[in-house]
Amino acid sequence: MTDSVKYLLDESRIPRHWYNIVADLPAPPPLVLHPGTLKPVGPDDLAPLFPMSLIGQEVSAEREIEIPGPVRDIYRQWRVTPLYRARRLEKALQTPARIYYKYEGVSPAGSHKPNTAVAQAFYNREAGVKRITTETGAGQWGSSLAFAGAVFGIEVQVFMVKVSYQQKPYRRALMETYGAQCIASPSIETEYGRSVLARSPDSNGSLGIAISEAVEIAASRDDTKYALGSVLNHVLLHQTVVGLEAMEQLEIADDYPDVIVGCTGGGSNFAGIAFPFLGSQLRGGRSVRIVAVEPAACPSLTRGRYAYDFGDTGHMTPLTKMHTLGSAFMPPGFHAGGLRYHGMAPLVSHVKQLGLIEARAYHQLQCFEAGVLFARQEGIVPAPEANHAVKGAIDEAERCREEGVSRAILFNLCGHGHFDMQAYTDYFAGKLTDNVYDERELAMALSGLPSVPEPA
Ligand SMILES: Cc1ncc(COP(=O)(O)O)c(C=O)c1O
């Protein structure tokens, strides 16, 4: 074992394939259904929204999918991202644990999101698409797609959840710097946005609403497609570069994780780091505990129901089986905007249902406390979303100390918090609170789930 702090790889080692966990699952994931017919959706149903190449990846069961040369070329701007050993944090915690983190904050937008934004923009350009609409919660995804649009010459329109739009003016400025248009959602640009504003003029917005707005535009305009920054199979697939690189970097460190931790909003950064290791386990390799960490204010995996639901509030998307709080669930305006989604990626939900991963929820105050401790030791200020993973990793490391056991803990530091300093300012000023739900509130949100008969 070395005493390095950073494990770096040359850009020639950027993976040549993404890893598709569907190939190794003990049971196939449930089918995606058309909300009108309740029959499985086919490629033609999705064609108004996505190019065929991405639809192909969405339903693929091939283990490896080649990363196109032009995508690898753009990845070279920031990949291979560093794997750090958190030696200073370990010391501060007085833990025998070996803590590693993969740092995705070195990307142009400051998070893991460009890994899929670049790929999606590339496939859209190949299909001759000139314009893409999307939504963004924290602003990380919107800025990533804006960057990718600039790279491949595609116009990008972003519906940004209103509370984040107000909390993070510099994210909007970043999107505009890359040449995208950024609109606060709910907006008057779409029929659905106008209907929400008529009912609730002061709506904070939600990812579910912003998705409906972006989908409405893509579905109604021939020149426009839609892109999603998480949840879908092809998005999780593109994020596996993170875990694949980490595997090789850990080989240099002569180590292997006992525990992997990732935060979960829609599930993509978590899947990105965890699925390559889980796949290896499923093929007979070493087993690893995998922990998904979510906000207690939006607890889809830990308190949601595993059921068919819509991906958006306006019910324009197909039905997917996932852990959900109900598409009408309106999370409060807590500061991890990227984790405020009512559902969870169907693939992450499926592996949770199969008992292959664990899930845990934390309140925002304890996550900020963990993030500040991390920043003071490691120097990097994590995004509020990433603080959930930091907190999860610290808890695991403290358990090692209590048990007197040295385990290797790997987590995904999925983004930096440089655009989120208002959140830290509010935290230091004592302005942040924790949201607690009783079962009745959650049951109410779930009462509107679509009724889908179980297959015979
Ligand atoms: C920094 C960061 N982490 C995590 C997330 C959550 O998304 P996912 O679960 O797809 O990784 C977001 C989403 O915007 C984000 O910006």
**What are the pLDDT digits (tens) for 3-20?**
999 999 999 999 999 999
Is the pLDDT confidence value at 115 over 80? yes
Residue 383 CA: nearest ligand 1 atom is: 1
How many beta carbons lie within 10 A of that of residue 314, not counting itself? 20
Question: Where does the pLDDT of residue 380 fall: very low under 50, low under 70, confident under 90, or very high at 90 and above?
Answer: very high
**Cα 182 to ligand 1 centre (Å):** 18
Q: How far is CA 450 from CA 32, 239, 296, 308, 318, in A?
A: 14, 30, 24, 7, 11
The stretches of 221-322 forming alpha helices (DSSP H) are: 233-252, 268-282, 300-303
**Cα 265 to ligand 1 centre (Å):** 6
Cis preceding-peptide flag for 48 (omega within 30 of 0):
no
Predicted local distance difference test score (pLDDT) of residue 338 = 86
Pairwise CA distance, residues 378 & 383, whole Å: 14
Is the pLDDT confidence value at 79 over 70? yes
Is the pLDDT confidence value at 419 over 80? yes
The stretches of 31-182 forming alpha helices (DSSP H) are: 43-46, 52-58, 69-75, 87-93, 114-126, 140-152, 162-167, 169-177
Instruction: State mean pLDDT over 21-35.
Output: 97
Instruction: State mean pLDDT over 322-342.
Output: 88
Residue 415 CA: nearest ligand 1 atom is: 1
Phi-psi region of 221 (alpha: psi -120 to 50; beta: other; left: phi over 0): beta
The residue whose CA has the least distance to atom 10 of ligand 1 is 268
**Cα 165 to ligand 1 centre (Å):** 16
Q: Are strands 259-263 and 408-413 parallel, antiparallel or unpaired?
A: parallel
The residue whose CA has the least distance to atom 11 of ligand 1 is 269
Mean pLDDT of the chain: 96
Instruction: State mean pLDDT over 255-268.
Output: 98
Residue 85: how many CA atoms within 13 Å on its side-chain side?
A: 23
Residue 141 CA: nearest ligand 1 atom is: 14
Is the pLDDT confidence value at 430 over 60? yes
Residue with tokens 């655009």: 419
Q: Which residues line ligand 1 (CB under 6 A)?
A: 111, 137-138, 140-141, 230, 263-270, 338-339, 383, 385-386, 414-415
Find the range with the poorest average confidence among 252-256, 376-380, 448-452: 448-452
Question: Where does the pLDDT of residue 336 fall: very low under 50, low under 70, confident under 90, or very high at 90 and above?
Answer: confident
Pairwise CA distance, residues 415 & 409, whole Å: 18
The answer to whether 132 and 157 have CB atoms below 8 angstroms apart is yes
Query: Is the alpha carbon torsion for 233, 174, 49, 217 positive or negative?
Result: positive
Pairwise CA distance, residues 193 & 392, whole Å: 36
Q: Which residues pair with 360 in a beta bridge?
A: 293
**Cα 274 to ligand 1 centre (Å):** 15
Is the pLDDT confidence value at 332 over 90? no
Pairwise CA distance, residues 456 & 448, whole Å: 23
**Cα 105 to ligand 1 centre (Å):** 11
Among 106, 293, 385, residue to substitute to test ligand 1 (most atoms within 8 Å of Cβ): 385
Is the pLDDT confidence value at 23 over 90? yes
Say whether 361 sits in a helix, a strand or coil: strand
**Cα 174 to ligand 1 centre (Å):** 17
Q: Which residues pair with 308 in a beta bridge?
A: 321
Residue 138 CA: nearest ligand 1 atom is: 14
Among 120, 135, 136, 140, residue to substitute to test ligand 1 (most atoms within 8 Å of Cβ): 140
Residue 235 CA: nearest ligand 1 atom is: 10
The answer to whether 345 and 267 have CB atoms below 8 angstroms apart is yes
Tokens of 279: 């796949």
**Cα 385 to ligand 1 centre (Å):** 6
Tokens of 211: 């998705």
Instruction: State mean pLDDT over 235-262.
Output: 98
Question: Where does the pLDDT of residue 441 fall: very low under 50, low under 70, confident under 90, or very high at 90 and above?
Answer: confident
Pairwise CA distance, residues 111 & 388, whole Å: 15
The interaxial angle of helices 140-152 and 169-177, nearest 10 deg, is 10
Residue with tokens 């009745």: 440
